[in-house]
Amino acid sequence: ETGVTQTPRHLVMGMTNKKSLKCEQHLGHNAMYWYKQSAKKPLELMFVYNFKEQTENNSVPSRFSPECPNSSHLFLHLHTLQPEDSALYLCASSLDRGGGTEAFFGQGTRLTVV
């Protein structure tokens, strides 16, 4: 356990469904991240939040909607996804976005879109 908890661990959803992924950390970190890991592709950064403010949106389609109500929680709201969105979604947190401090990852949510 790294101190970053993601739920659910597995999710199967239809293309018309709406679901949310949750990430929680109590490490006192101020930066939180969403990554997508598809088969045969490097980890792709999706969103970055620093002190609850979104600082990066890496050209992610609007069917992915992040929410960061406080520094400890991060959500990824999903709606009208496509089968190609099936992937492992990883949440990470770091002390801050400066100094290259290491990011701690959650266990991920394995998402399957049918």
Partner 1 sequence: EDKVVQSPLSLVVHEGDTVTLNCSYEVTNFRSLLWYKQEKKAPTFLFMLTSSGIEKKSGRLSSILDKKELFSILNITATQTGDSAIYLCAVVNAGNMLTFGGGTRLMVKP
Q: Stretches 12-20, 22-30, 78-86, 92-100: which one binds partner 1 (CB under 8 A)?
A: 92-100
d(CA 40, CA 104): 22
Q: Spell out the SS3 assignment of 43-85.
A: CEEEEEEECCEEEEECCCCCCEEEEEEECCEEEEEEECCCHHH
Q: Is 45 in the site for partner 1 (CB under 8 A)?
A: yes
Binding mask 58-87 for partner 1 (x = CB under 8 A): ------------------------------
Cα separation, 80 vs 97, in Å, equals 31
CB of 47 to partner 1, least distance (A): 12
Q: Is 104 in the site for partner 1 (CB under 8 A)?
A: yes
3-state class of 87 per DSSP? strand
Instruction: Please report, as ranges, the residues that interact with partner 1 according to CB under 8 A.
Output: 2, 4, 33, 41-43, 45, 48, 56, 88, 90, 97-108, 110
